[in-house]
Amino acid sequence: MKDLFLAAGGCHYTYEQLLKDVGSRGKKCSRIFVKGNEPYQIFVSVVHSLWLDYPVELLDGDFSEEELNKMGIQSADLQPSLIDRRSEHPPSYEDVTALLRPKNWTLSLYTSGTTGRPKKVTHRYDALTRQVKTGSRWENQVWGFAYNPTHMAGLQVFFQAFNNKNPMIYAFGEEQKQLPDLIDHYQITHLSATATYYRNIFPRLQSKVYPGVKRVTFGGEGFDERLSEKMKQTFPHAQIRNVYASTEAGSVFAGNGRTFTLSSSIKDLVKINEHQELLIHHSLVGALENAADVGEWLNTGDVVQEIGENQFVFVSRNSDFINVGGYRVNPLEVEAVLTAVPGVEDAVVKGKKNSVTGNLLTAELVKAADAEEDQVKEAVRKHAADTLQPWKVPRMLTFVEEIRKTRTGKKVRE
């Protein structure tokens, strides 16, 4: 694996190949859009933009033409604006990384758009890499890449790996199913993914133990304590970490388990309002399209609970709460109860419009392959009734092969 940069789709790309491909592009560039889901080409574009210090915007490969039009992007904009001659010599790794303080470079991302038109957020290099660690301690890491490469979480893994010349092993989308073999073959040491990703892959992992994995990171969704305990058995030598990050602010802080502790350097830049929503100071936030509407503090829309001085736990997205007869139900709480039932591998709780109560709770369940549907349904109903208050008990249960996910790998709750 010497000099390996990325393994994806059966192909291997070394750092030497990466820099050769970067050097083969136009010598000068104007701002460009990069649209796609193929990780290697996306990373080539990002490194090229860093090398020549020009802005770049990343677009999901499955953005529709209608979505692009709403974002003010035309087909012609997607053609790279490469001018001047090609470089006679590709840059060295040191050329690109030695003085990474680009003056003109920015990277723009788009929110997932699950609640409306995707919105652009623009970041500078220092903000994107505020949590990146470099040095001998981090030089032998091998990263399992389990995120969309055009989203914040994926870029956080990319910058951590690239700045330490670490290999990345692509395990997203269809290649997620190959994760057990990829861990063994490439000796992956670090995994970072959503809880939904881990739940989906866990049935394939649980028959073995992987002592070489040193860190398992949760991000992008609420922390699942029960799943974390299972992961500790599968990865006995791994530290379990929980990262709070967003498209707007990047990676802000991390914790062990559910609890986040604010460090002295950041505690004055984070606060909780009277609705228990988490607010982040604008100095930690990228440039937003609606910056004038944000003001000094960005409301993340995340509801948290303070549990001590400078400590809190994530409760839910404010928009995810479901109103049932005047009660606000946290779907994460209900899902945790449902997935505790033997035979249930995953669950998503939703609200179905009802003229009397406003909403009825429904749940989609993914059962274990060897479980009987009727028995699982009966066990779920009983456990939910015994554990939850009446308005939190789902009234309709359906079984699905797989729970739908957003572009970022989170559960779709619509």
What is the per-residue pLDDT across 200-245, written as a single tens digit (0 to 9) for each? 898 888 789 999 999 999 988 878 888 899 899 999 999 999 988 8
Give me the pLDDT at residue 85, please: 44
CATH assignment at residue 387:
3.30.300.30
Signed CA dihedral, 29, 32, 35, 39: sign only: positive
Within a 10 A sphere around the Cβ of 53, how many other Cβ atoms? 14
Give me the pLDDT at residue 172, please: 93
CATH assignment at residue 160:
3.40.50.12780
Signed CA dihedral, 346, 390, 225, 280: sign only: positive
The answer on 217 and 111 residing in a single domain is yes
Task: For the sheet with 32-36, list strands across it.
Answer: 32-36, 56-60, 107-110, 120-123, 287-288
The answer on 158 and 18 residing in a single domain is yes
- Biggest CA pair distance of the chain: 72
Per the domain annotation, does 362 fall within a domain? yes
Give me the pLDDT at residue 292, please: 62
Give me the pLDDT at residue 266, please: 86
Give me the pLDDT at residue 77, please: 72
The answer on 241 and 342 residing in a single domain is no
Give me the pLDDT at residue 84, please: 47
Give me the pLDDT at residue 91, please: 80
The answer on 16 and 148 residing in a single domain is yes
What are the pLDDT tens digits along the chain (414 aa)?
Answer: 779 999 998 999 999 999 988 888 766 666 688 887 889 999 999 998 888 888 999 988 878 777 787 777 877 677 655 444 445 677 888 877 765 667 789 999 987 654 556 788 999 998 888 888 998 999 999 999 999 898 899 999 999 999 999 999 999 988 899 999 999 999 999 999 998 899 889 888 878 999 999 999 998 887 888 889 989 999 999 999 998 888 888 888 888 888 888 888 888 999 999 999 999 999 899 888 766 666 889 899 899 999 888 888 888 888 889 999 889 999 999 999 999 999 999 999 999 998 888 899 999 999 998 999 999 999 999 999 999 999 999 999 999 999 988 777 788 887
The answer on 355 and 237 residing in a single domain is no
Among 211, 235, 257, which residue terminates a domain?
Answer: 257
* Percent helix, strand and coil across the chain, each to the nearest 5: 30, 30, 35
This prediction has a pTM of 0.84
Per the domain annotation, does 17 fall within a domain? yes
Per the domain annotation, does 268 fall within a domain? no
The answer on 251 and 382 residing in a single domain is no
User: Could you report how far apart the first and last alpha carbons of the chain are, in Å?
Assistant: 43
Q: Residue 293 belongs to what H/E stretch?
A: helix 291-294
Identify the domain containing residue 158 by its residue range: 4-257
Signed CA dihedral, 275, 338, 230, 198: sign only: negative
Per the domain annotation, does 266 fall within a domain? no
- CA-to-CA distance for 299 and 291, rounded, in angstroms? 12
Per the domain annotation, does 163 fall within a domain? yes
Count of structural domains within the chain: 2
Per the domain annotation, does 411 fall within a domain? no
Give me the pLDDT at residue 83, please: 44
